Amino acid sequence: MRILFIGDVVGRSGREAVAAAITTSRAALALDLVVVNAENASHGFGLGPDMAEALFAAGADVLTLGNHAWDRREIIPYIADHPRLLRPLNCPPGTPGAGAVTVELPDGRRALVLQAIGRLFMDPMDCPFRTTAELLARHRLGATVTAILADIHAEATSEKMAYAHSFDGQVSAVIGTHTHCPSADAQILPGGTAFQSDAGMSGDYDSVIGMTKEAATVRYWRKMPGERLTPAEGPTTVCGVFIETDDATGLARRIAPYRQGGRLAPAMPEP
């Protein structure tokens, strides 16, 4: 299975660039599954239902959220009716929506996509390790599902790495999100799971993690509330990760960074 995971989409320019990238990459990379982290798509904070619809229409199969899941309250009734929009798996019981979904491809293959959120330097949540283990106990890679992709939305690289090693050999790929900076550690772990600490953001990199640098920077100088942060609207770099899996085992054959447009050096996987 050929999978493209696109990192945190920031603002309008990010949404538009990602929609265009999905359209061109579906055919160019013969993609089977496209997953997009969209928790910053609405002015940098949350996701609106209209924005979710536009990303689905552009070709995203699954959208994931994160710590900004509920910043746009109108997403609450929407997520209950749209199982391909995921909030973190380890939200407390009773939280609307779901943290995992099984997607059936046109050819009958099935992929499980899940998202967990970390706890280091983040709001308190249930344990991402235990909740993921409970979910994986109901799915067998290469048997009940052809591939399993996990989005670990966390601040600490150590927590993301520990999570990936914990489930090495049980999932096809573990891709980190949240820090908005693409990491250079794309690799296949000893058990066959593809891993990258952070996919990076899809936004303007002439910024402070996607937000206008003037307003963001002054907060560090003065340590006082300032003007509301807004997304930088310059040229967008779409950042993500490409993974190819073995249909027989579900394990990764290769992983490669995906970057196009904007300020960062391009990196496109071999077709």
How many residues make up the chain in this entry? 271
- Considering the candidates 68, 82, 153, 178, report the single residue annotated as catalytic: 68
Strand order of the β-sheet with 187-188 is 100-104, 110-117, 147-153, 173-177, 194-196, 187-188
Phi/psi region, residue 19 (left: phi>0; alpha: psi -120 to 50; beta: rest), is alpha
Strands annotated E in 118-206: 147-153, 173-177, 187-188, 194-196
Q: Is the sign of the CA dihedral 181, 241, 173, 66 positive or negative?
A: positive
Catalytic annotation present for 165: no
Alpha-helical (H) ranges within the chain are 11-28, 49-58, 75-81, 128-136, 157-166, 213-222
Helices and strands (H and E) in the chain: how many: 6, 12
CA–CA gap between residue 242 and residue 236 (Å, rounded): 19
Mention every residue, 6+ apart, whose C-beta is less than 8 A from residue 228. Answer: 215
CA–CA gap between residue 9 and residue 198 (Å, rounded): 13
Residues known to be catalytic: 68
